[in-house]
């Protein structure tokens, strides 16, 4: 088989791997030089001439003519009689260039060449893939669900690259089927052996920040800055935004008329509740805004311990704490302060009783249901609307009414 035919047979990898012809030829030269080293001990005296346009190559071995019987290194030297078989007028001391056909390397060597070529091309593809995705870490990426596994969803992009979305990087409400398009950020790229593993995340704060950039033109243009994002994925998030231009209302621009701008982001995140607040360097004001929708009466800050006592009226406490304690937890993460809620009220309101005091009349799991939404005293429960409690807890209306009857009796007594 001639060199050209062999090159063409090797070049089938070009179409499969989308590798350009010049790169393929460079890999071929490297592969063939390794084969020459194995057969002849050295490739120093070989010239490999590659024509990437034609996809052809030639291999020439250069040797010095020595007298018959004086050949010490057959790879570097050729006897006079052998040289004259190539050209009859060669003399001792002259250089001889002789073309080496690939078929001369032997069948086993050619098979080894093919395997080595496959390995080199895979190595080249993996290196390029690693660099490609390393450059877009932190960017939003879209890929299609290829396979759903218990611990991860395997995605494939338009170029056939495999991307892993681990279970812990999925929003709890996420549900995917084969063929679904999924958006997330490229969180990391790791080399597993020689193959890059690309990890996507939908739970990262950065994903929410990038969604703001993608969906809100003022954020994309830099007119509005996302200062900080904190999330409990699928449940609640708080985003602090700011603008250098006093004419722009950053919160209004991000939320849009009747929530029109942020609606798409909320839907993408499985109806995650997103609070957008104005960033400020005034710590007290920032903490107050972070605890929205609760109205804070006053704040006492301990800078040395990064703690703050937040004083609220009784009817505001449950709002500040939020369902499952999410609101106060996120407010603390957003501001960097550990927040302690202090109830305040008039003399009558001060006569409150912890729900745990009623454990002989109210079952423990019922008390826990109220605690999950920040209601841990008798008055905090009595100040709520019954239907609202039915919606926010896993309790039946009948159970809630019975609890309220027990609590009212306490104060009537």
User: What is the reported pLDDT for 97?
Assistant: 86
List, for residues 14-61, the tens digit of each pLDDT value. 444 556 666 666 777 777 888 888 878 888 888 887 765 565 678 888
Q: In what order do the strands lie in the sheet with 224-232?
A: 224-232, 236-243, 273-278
Distance separating alpha carbons of residues 412 and 39, to the nearest angstrom: 102
User: What is the reported pLDDT for 253?
Assistant: 92
Distance separating alpha carbons of residues 169 and 155, to the nearest angstrom: 13
State the pLDDT confidence band at 361, using cuts at 50, 70 and 90. confident
Pick the range with the lowest mean pLDDT from 154-158, 334-338, 379-383. 379-383
Write the CB contacts of 228 (distance below 8 Å, at least 6 apart in sequence).
239, 240, 279, 334
User: What is the reported pLDDT for 240?
Assistant: 96
Distance separating alpha carbons of residues 32 and 44, to the nearest angstrom: 13
User: What is the reported pLDDT for 70?
Assistant: 85
CA distances from 127 to 134, 135, 187, 194, 195 (A): 10, 12, 18, 8, 8
Residue intervals of the chain classified under CATH 2.40.50.140 are: 136-201
Written out in words, the top-level CATH class of the domain with range 205-320 is: alpha beta
User: What is the reported pLDDT for 345?
Assistant: 60
User: What is the reported pLDDT for 347?
Assistant: 41
List, for residues 133-146, the tens digit of each pLDDT value. 889 999 999 999 99
User: What is the reported pLDDT for 2?
Assistant: 46
User: What is the reported pLDDT for 215?
Assistant: 92
CATH architecture, range 136-201: Beta Barrel (2.40)
pLDDT higher than 50, residue 4: no
Q: How many CB atoms lie within 10 A of CB 374?
A: 22
Pick the range with the lowest mean pLDDT from 4-13, 123-132, 158-167. 4-13
Residue intervals of the chain classified under CATH 3.30.300.20 are: 205-320
pLDDT higher than 90, residue 122: no
End-to-end CA distance of the chain: 106
Token representation of residue 141: 């990426």
User: What is the reported pLDDT for 385?
Assistant: 86
User: What is the reported pLDDT for 251?
Assistant: 93
State the pLDDT confidence band at 342, using cuts at 50, 70 and 90. confident
List, for residues 233-281, the tens digit of each pLDDT value. 999 999 999 998 888 999 999 998 888 889 999 999 999 999 999 999 9
Average pLDDT value for residue range 60-65:
89
CATH node for 3-131? 3.30.1480
State the pLDDT confidence band at 148, using cuts at 50, 70 and 90. very high
Distance separating alpha carbons of residues 63 and 78, to the nearest angstrom: 6
pLDDT higher than 70, residue 128: yes
């Amino acid at each position: 088989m001639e060199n050209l035919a062999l090159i063409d047979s090797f070049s089938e990898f070009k179409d499969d791997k989308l590798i350009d012809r010049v790169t393929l030829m460079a890999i071929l030269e490297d592969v063939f030089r390794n084969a020459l080293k194995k057969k002849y001990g050295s490739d120093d005296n070989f010239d490999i001439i590659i024509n990437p346009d034609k996809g052809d190559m030639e291999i020439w071995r250069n040797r010095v003519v020595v007298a018959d019987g004086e050949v010490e290194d057959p790879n570097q030297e050729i006897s006079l009689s052998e040289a004259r078989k190539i050209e009859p007028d060669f003399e001792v001391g002259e250089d001889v260039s002789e073309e080496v056909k690939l078929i001369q390397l032997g069948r086993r060597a050619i098979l080894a060449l093919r395997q080595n070529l496959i390995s080199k091309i895979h190595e080249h593809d993996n290196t390029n893939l690693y660099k490609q995705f390393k450059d877009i870490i932190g960017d939003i990426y879209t890929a299609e669900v290829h396979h759903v596994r218990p611990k991860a969803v395997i995605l494939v992009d338009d170029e056939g690259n495999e991307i892993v979305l681990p279970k812990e990087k999925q929003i709890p409400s996420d549900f995917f089927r084969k063929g679904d398009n999924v958006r997330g950020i490229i969180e990391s790229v790791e080399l597993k052996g020689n193959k890059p593993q690309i990890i996507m995340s939908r739970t990262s704060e950065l994903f929410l920040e990038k969604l703001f950039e993608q969906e809100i033109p003022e954020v994309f243009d830099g007119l509005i800055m996302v200062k900080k994002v904190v999330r409990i994925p699928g449940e609640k998030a708080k985003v602090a935004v700011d603008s250098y231009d006093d004419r722009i209302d950053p919160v209004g621009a991000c939320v849009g008329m009747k929530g029109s701008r942020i609606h798409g982001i909320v839907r993408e995140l499985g109806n995650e509740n997103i609070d957008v607040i104005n960033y400020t360097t005034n710590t007290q004001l920032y903490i107050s805004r972070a605890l929205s929708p609760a109205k804070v009466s006053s704040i006492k800050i301990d800078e040395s311990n990064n703690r703050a006592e937040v004083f609220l009226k009784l009817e505001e406490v449950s709002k500040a704490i939020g369902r499952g304690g999410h609101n106060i937890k996120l407010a603390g993460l957003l501001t960097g302060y550990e927040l302690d809620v202090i109830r305040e009220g008039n003399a009558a309101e001060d006569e409150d009783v912890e729900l745990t005091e009623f454990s002989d009349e109210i079952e423990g799991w019922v008390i826990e249901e109220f605690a999950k939404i920040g209601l841990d005293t008798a008055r905090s429960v009595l100040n709520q609307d019954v239907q609202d409690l039915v919606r926010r807890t896993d309790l039946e209306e009948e159970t809630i009414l019975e609890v309220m009857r027990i609590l009212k009796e306490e104060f009537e007594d």
